[in-house]
């Protein structure tokens, strides 16, 4: 038995029969013959494949159109959604979408390879924000690489388009998504709607691929041509979608994307939000989830150091019940975490900041935007009367897993924020780690950066203006 994938393509309802583990880009260019959308890197980096996607949230709210990388999005993820490609934008007004008009008038495209993706990103931005500032436009374009035109004329076209009319994308009524698409004897894609359904599927099919946004997992399909017989997607599971505050804690559901969590992180930990704004691009942040980031157990993932320093814990759920794990104990070894085959991350819980608690996270990467960390340091300090009464310090990129640095914490607890304490903390950091060398940085470089980030923290907390850019 097979079930089609039903969605809206450029305003028309379509019912597609294909393997749900096909990438949207492959389907668009191969089957739908919509070849305006381009393939550059096929790994979410260049934005040439950007399209616009809108779907109902698991709580049944209609979200706005958001730019997404079609090279790492799977057809199964389109069930119940609306998709607009550059061809659909061209049809949205007699002379094309206002972004397309202004890009053409302003000489904002030379070879044109990046242009469809740039148009999609900018049309998505204007649909959400009709008065964008320069910084909003740069943020929207951080995941779109243009090698020949240069960004000034593109930003100018965006600013000019924002003054134009018809900048909103068409209203589309979304249908409810089915809970399964695909064919049992080929490839099946489950979209459970409740946690109970998800856990039932996880117990029954322990070898199925568990997918959230797919920004990590789907690289296997886009790059390594993996084929998946069964995928269980967390997108529509209602219990995994909440962002709630209760009893002095923030609880973020295991299906919540970085983009959705951003406003609440900004409110309580502005430095964490700065880190998140450098996490991939808007395309990656609107699909990628916090839980997916932690479950990869990557030593250079950005979420883990910040959340360990904040004292976060995880609620892990399986059919046999729930258990709580402190995030610092979740990472067992390189790319291994304490998650049984039938378990999922139900939620991430973070204690809200206490008076006099300061939090800073610093990411050092080769590029400022859209790059994975070489080293990431996160620091949560309670400082009263110039004395450190509590400290939690965590690093990514310094060991096989993200780790807490108890030695540096001990070196500063109970001490004044002065030169002697800083020197002791730096010595503790140097003694704690034997980092690896790889293409991102040598062991010596990483050790030096980790220690310099402590210096940066002391300068920052003393009120010195600091901004950590990429090195
Ligand atoms: C271009 C690009 C840029 C990136 N930039 C960054 C960056 O700057 N910093 C960074 O840290 N990462 C970055 N990433 C990596 C990735 O985007 C993040 O790790 C993201 O948060 C993964 O979330 P996801 O929902 O897409 O996970 P998925 O790819 O869907 O899943 C990843 C893993 O998590 C598991 N999983 C997902 N949800 C759950 C759950 N609820 N319970 C248990 N297991 C679960 C999956 O089974 C899988 O093993 C980047 C990736 C790309 C392609
Ligand atoms: S082809 Fe480069 S991001 Fe998709
Ligand atoms: S116009 Fe050539 S890559 Fe942008």
Return mean pLDDT, the chain. Answer: 94
Domains 93-163 and 357-461 share a fold: no
The minimum-distance atom of ligand 3 relative to the CA of 146 is 4
Closest CA to 440 of 369, 376, 372: 372
Pick from 49-63, 149-163, 240-254, 317-331: least confident: 49-63
- CA dihedral of 85, 91, 93, 98, whole degrees rounded to 10: 30
On the 0-12 / 13-18 / 19+ scale of CB atoms within 10 A, 187 is buried
Cα 199 to Cα 322, 377, 394, 437, 439, distances in angstroms: 11, 35, 32, 40, 39
Residue that wins the pLDDT comparison between 62 and 223: 223
Domain extent listing, the chain:
2-86+172-233, 93-163, 238-351, 357-461
C-alpha 429: how far from chain center: 29
The pLDDT tens digits of the residues spanning 4-39 come to: 999 999 999 999 999 999 999 999 999 999 999 999
Query: What phi and psi values does residue 336 have, to the nearest 5 degrees?
Result: -125, 135
Dihedral sign (CA 223, 225, 226, 230): positive
**Gap from CA of 349 to ligand 1 centroid (Å):** 18
The answer to whether the CB of 46 is under 6 A from ligand 2 is yes
Q: Are 52 and 92 within 8 A, CB to CB?
A: no
Q: Determine if the pTM surpasses 0.85.
A: yes
- pLDDT tens per residue, range 279-297: 999 999 999 999 999 999 9
Pick among 3.10.20.30, 3.40.50.150, 1.10.760.10, 3.40.220.10: CATH of 2-86+172-233? 3.10.20.30
- CA 427 / ligand 1 centre spacing (Å): 34
Could you tell me if the CB of 47 is within 6 A of ligand 2?
Answer: yes
Mean pLDDT over 203-223 rounds to: 95
CATH of 238-351, one of 3.40.605.10, 1.20.1260.10, 3.30.465.10, 3.20.20.70: 3.30.465.10
Query: What's the pLDDT tens digit per position in 435-448?
Result: 988 888 899 999 99
Measure the CA angle with vertex 31, ends 51 and 186; round to 5°: 105
Tell me, what's the pLDDT at 469? 53
Indicate whether residue 253 lines ligand 1 (CB < 6 A). Answer: no
346 lines ligand 2 (CB under 6 A): no
For residue 67 and ligand 2, the question of a CB distance below 6 A is answered with no
Please give the Cα distance from 387 to 379 (Å, whole number). 15
Cα of 374 from ligand 2 centre, angstroms: 22
Average pLDDT over residues 366-372: 82
- Between the CA of 165 and the centroid of ligand 2 the distance, in Å, is 30
Query: How remote is the C-alpha of 236 from its chain's centroid?
Result: 17
What atom of ligand 3 comes closest to residue 110's alpha carbon?
A: 1
Lowest mean pLDDT among 229-238, 307-316, 435-444: 435-444
Give yes or no for residue 231 CB within 6 A of ligand 2: no
Q: Which atom of ligand 3 is nearest to the CA of 109?
A: 1
Give the chain's largest Cα–Cα span.
71
Question: Could you tell me which residues come within 8 angstroms of residue 348 by beta carbon, excluding any fewer than 6 positions away?
Answer: 251, 252, 254, 290, 291, 294, 307, 312, 313, 314, 315, 327
- Is residue 381 scored above 70 in pLDDT? yes
Residue 395 pLDDT exceeds 80: yes
Q: Give tens-digit pLDDT for 35-85.
A: 999 999 999 999 999 999 998 776 666 678 999 999 999 999 999 999 999
Backbone phi, then psi, for 54, in 5-degree steps? -135, 140
Within a 10 A sphere around the Cβ of 270, how many other Cβ atoms? 12
Distance CA 105, CA 249 (A): 51
Q: How many CB atoms lie within 10 A of CB 354?
A: 10
The arithmetic mean of pLDDT across residues 391-397, rounded, is 97
Confidence of residue 468 (pLDDT cuts 50, 70, 90): low
**Chain segment 134-148, per-residue pLDDT in tens:** 999 999 999 999 999
In this structure, which residue's CA is closest to atom 4 in ligand 3? 146
Atom of ligand 2 nearest to the CA of 143: 3
Residue pair 275/261 in contact (Cβ under 8 Å)? The answer is no
Evaluate whether 50 touches 68 at the Cβ level (below 8 Å): yes
CATH 3.30.390.50 fits 357-461, yes or no: yes
Q: Is the pLDDT reported for residue 113 higher than 70? A: yes
Reply yes or no on whether the pLDDT at 471 is more than 60: no
Choose the residue to mutate in 28, 29, 35, 49 for probing ligand 2, maximizing ligand atoms within 8 Å of C-beta: 49
Ligand (nearest to CA of 343): 1
Q: Does residue 394 have a pLDDT over 50?
A: yes
* Distance (Å) from CA 45 to ligand 2 centroid: 5
Ligand 1, residue 365: give the atom nearest the CA.
8
Per-residue tokens: 233: 């997607």
CA-only gyration radius of the chain, Å: 23
Whether the per-residue pLDDT at 149 is higher than 80: the answer is yes
Q: Say which residues have a Cβ less than 8 Å from residue 397's Cβ, sequence separation at least 6.
A: 299, 300, 373, 374, 375, 376, 435, 440, 441, 446
Q: Is 53 in the pocket of ligand 2 (CB under 6 A)?
A: no
Give the model's confidence band at 470: pLDDT under 50 very low, under 70 low, under 90 confident, else very high: very low
Half-sphere exposure of 212 (CA within 13 A, CB side): 26
Task: Give residue 68 CA to ligand 1 midpoint distance, Å.
Answer: 14
Which of 130, 162, 376 has the alpha carbon at shortest distance from 275?
376
Please state the atom number of ligand 2 nearest to the C-alpha of residue 72: 4
Fold of the CATH domain 93-163: DNA polymerase; domain 1 (1.10.150)
Determine the distance from the C-alpha atom of residue 269 to the mean position of all C-alpha atoms in its chain, rounded to a whole number.
Answer: 17
Cβ 211 under 6 angstroms from ligand 1: yes
pLDDT above 70 for 456: yes
pLDDT of residue 28: 98
In which element (H, E) is residue 5 found? Answer: strand 5-9
pLDDT tier at 372, thresholds 50, 70, 90: confident
Q: For a substitution probing ligand 2, which of 26, 69, 143, 284 has the most ligand atoms within 8 Å of its CB?
A: 69
**What pLDDT does residue 60 have?**
61
pLDDT score for 96: 93
Give dist(CA 232, CA 212) in Å, integer: 9
């Amino acid at each position: 038995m097979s079930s089609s994938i039903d969605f809206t393509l450029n305003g028309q309802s379509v019912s597609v029969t294909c393997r749900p583990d096909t990438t949207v880009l492959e389907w668009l260019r191969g089957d739908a013959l919509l070849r305006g959308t381009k393939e550059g890197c096929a790994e979410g980096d260049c934005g040439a494949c950007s399209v616009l996607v809108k779907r109902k949230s698991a709580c049944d709210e209609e979200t706005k159109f958001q730019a997404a990388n079609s090279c790492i999005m799977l057809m199964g993820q389109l069930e119940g959604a609306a998709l607009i490609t550059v061809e659909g934008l061209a049809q949205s007004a007699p002379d094309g979408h206002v972004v397309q008009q202004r890009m053409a008038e302003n000489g904002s495209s030379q070879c044109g390879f990046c242009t469809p993706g740039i148009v999609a990103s900018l049309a998505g931005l204007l649909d959400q924000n009709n008065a964008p500032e320069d910084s909003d436009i740069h943020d929207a374009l951080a995941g779109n690489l243009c090698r020949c035109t240069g960004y000034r004329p593109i930003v100018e076209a965006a600013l000019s388009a924002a003054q134009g009319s018809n900048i909103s994308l068409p209203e589309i009524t979304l249908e409810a998504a089915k809970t399964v698409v695909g064919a049992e004897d080929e490839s099946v894609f489950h979209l459970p709607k409740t946690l109970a359904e998800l856990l039932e599927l996880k117990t029954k099919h322990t070898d199925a691929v568990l997918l959230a946004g797919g920004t990590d997992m789907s690289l296997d399909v886009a790059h390594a041509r993996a084929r998946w017989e069964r995928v269980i997607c967390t997108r529509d599971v209602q219990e995994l979608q909440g962002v709630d505050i209760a009893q002095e804690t923030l609880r973020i559901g295991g299906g919540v994307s970085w983009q959705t969590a951003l406003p609440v992180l900004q409110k309580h930990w502005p430095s964490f939000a700065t880190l998140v704004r450098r996490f991939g691009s808007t395309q990656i942040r609107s699909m990628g989830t916090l839980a997916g980031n932690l479950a990869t157990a990557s030593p250079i993932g950005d979420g883990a150091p910040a959340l360990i320093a904040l004292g976060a814990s995880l609620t892990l759920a399986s059919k046999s019940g729930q258990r709580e794990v402190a995030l610092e104990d979740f990472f067992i070894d390189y790319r291994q975490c304490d998650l049984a085959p039938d378990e999922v991350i139900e939620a991430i819980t973070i204690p809200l900041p206490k008076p006099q608690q300061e939090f800073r996270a610093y990411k050092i990467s080769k590029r400022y935007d859209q790059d994975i960390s070489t080293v990431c340091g996160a620091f949560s300090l309670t400082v009263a009367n110039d004395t450190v009464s509590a400290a939690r310090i965590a690093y990514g990129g310094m060991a096989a897993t993200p780790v807490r640095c108890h030695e540096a914490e001990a070196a500063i607890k109970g001490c004044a924020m002065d030169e002697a304490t800083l020197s002791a903390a730096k010595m503790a950091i140097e003694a704690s780690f034997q980092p690896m060398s790889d293409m991102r940085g040598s062991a010596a470089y990483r050790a030096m950066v980790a220690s310099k980030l402590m210096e940066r923290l002391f300068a920052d907390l003393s009120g010195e203006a600091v901004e950590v850019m990429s090195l």
